[in-house]
Chain A
């Protein structure tokens, strides 16, 4: 409490000795407790109940406790953004959970605030697929659980026979479908996450300069990509005037739209609703440019910095348990997510699954989503301008310039 030091000076020492006393008491309790009681760990996860993923994490923890009766892992669920905010607040109060099961982009803010520790020396990362989504400053800050989280093209086989290979084909299809009163393609037009694949199709279409943290948004690639999407909407009428995630999702499910661009997380749901009618393909190539490159990311274990050795060893042991081939395959069969462990991903259970195969093909042309803290400013800068372009109230050129300015201002604010 610097405040007291600030105004009173002397009281600060008393508080200090008070702290020592409390620490002593806590130590005493821990020593006494350690003899009799078990190791208790707290894990926060952003997996929700909707897809039974939270249940899966809980079952995993319970299974571990069965093998190691001395360890109890309490699994608590927080919504993704709440997890980030509350983890920071809890760390401030010295009350943070021991480890996390969360999205790779949290690595940015958590490393900036020095809240988590690198895992390179704790786990053999070579066993896993690409963990670069959680790599920063030459260190890896999380152990991957599942990889993917990328967008792809899904289509309704009742409405179109084959997916469009490039944007020219898409435009032709849109004209045919519109004539029949069907929307050709639908997607979440409010999130730049759905925009970045198209940016990646153009040369130099990266949000950061070579140093990986200076925004590079006012580029010809950006203007071209924005122009492409604006034209597809207003000239070719390839997608509806306004659609957010839920609208797009509903239109596709109801058969009002022939195609949707959505992420691997939605596959299970569409398979359930549409069955054999569901087709999966890569996002169509941009005529005269490259293939769209969706961002890939994943879910990672992250470990709180500065926890004691005994606890750390238990956490690492649990992480190893959670990422055995057996458990990774179990996760695949229950949650339909691509395992991060190489041997599990190569297993025929995964490799022979047609949906997973198509998804993996799209992932192969994807790029890792940057997890640096600056990415947050870039997302926030792109979003409003992107929306303006999609409502035809700004030219792509102005939007690109405004994005760059906003990203620079945002990064300044993050300092």
Chain B
């Protein structure tokens, strides 16, 4: 504790505090100027929304738009370690970067399409397990049981622990000699348990196992919310009609869960496709057979220093993910713009907001 003196704490608070005040003052002045111009001067219909949106727009311009333009520019360059300070730019170079991506190995041996396939496989495996196991646990938790709160809290653990720490703990458990996984397998009678960190197939399986473990809680919590919003009268009606539990699941639970499940899956696809930590950190031995697109991208940029090529690669990866998401949304008849409406329409059950609204009305 010797370094954490009151003085230091005060200084750091002052440092953070002054930044916050600076941001607040800046936002206020900006808002004031916007208000003067749009409301007072122009009497603009949208003066208020403009004022509401501007801080976010400015922030995102600096943090998302500028870097994107930068990457776009870089994608048309041949910048690398050997051409670090004076790279060339041009359309032809951009075209070369693209061509190289599909014709030559992206790293040393890994080619683009095997990587893409593996990424799809990875995303598919993960989403399947997250949704099925998450839904299974959510349905168990939705039953009338004791200690529900305790179970839920414990099951959310993998989500609540800082990810990097959890992953490194798992890496230890996959150690051939000392890891718990192999100790367990030996105890079960397996003489030569897998070499999780060195054999390509086993390493990929290990990565999948860890990410399944990490990803279940989010799906479980989301789907539990969905289950709780399904009105019990649906089940009662189905029961009166003599539906079996499986039929009830198919005819009531799944369709009514869809408005919750679809966006959760879309989110899951994005997070899984772009998951960097798990495949990167569990692949201690740099096996290219465990790389997915984003980790390959990182290696191309930071380990091989092919800045121009990597920028081009990044844009392609981004576009593939965008396309994948759009295709999924088309299939599931879900678009980001109408999403909110879908949810309202589906919100026949007691939605929390509605309940709160009802309470507010009752109080008024």
A interface residue numbers (CB < 8 A to B): 2-3, 6, 85, 88, 91-92, 109, 112-115, 190, 240-244, 246-247, 250-251, 373, 376-377, 380-381, 383-384, 387, 390-391, 393, 402, 405-407, 409-410, 412-415
Contact = CB atoms under 8 A, between A and B. Distances in A.
Contact of A243 (B70, B176, B199): B176
B84 A412 contact: no
Given A409-B109, A413-B304, A390 B198 contact: yes
Contact of A244 (B80, B81, B197): B197
A242 B284 CA distance: 13
A109 B80 CA distance: 10
Given A241-B192, A242-B195, A410 B108 contact: yes
Contact of B305 (A109, A250, A383, A406): A109
Contacts of A391: 195, 198-199
Contacts of B105: 409, 413
A363 to B, nearest CB: 28
B81 A112 contact: yes
B287 A384 contact: yes
A241 B285 contact: no
A238 B313 CA distance: 45
Interface string B71-89: 0110000001110110001
Interface string B161-176: 0000000000000011
Contact of B82 (A92, A112, A376, A383): A112
Given A250-B178, A384-B285, A384-B286, 10 more contacts: A2-B73, A3-B73, A113-B81, A241-B176, A242-B175, A244-B197, A246-B175, A410-B304, A413-B306, A414-B305
Nearest to B306: A413
B197 A377 contact: no
B104 interface: yes
Contacts of A114: 84-85
B69 interface: yes
13 contacts: A3-B70, A6-B73, A114-B84, A190-B285, A240-B176, A242-B177, A243-B176, A244-B175, A380-B303, A383-B285, A409-B108, A413-B306, A414-B82
A148 B154 CA distance: 50
A406 B108 contact: yes
B232 to A, nearest CB: 54
A85 B310 CA distance: 15
B151 interface: no
Interface string B191-217: 010010111000000000000000000
B107 interface: yes
B31 interface: no
Contacts of A384: 285-288
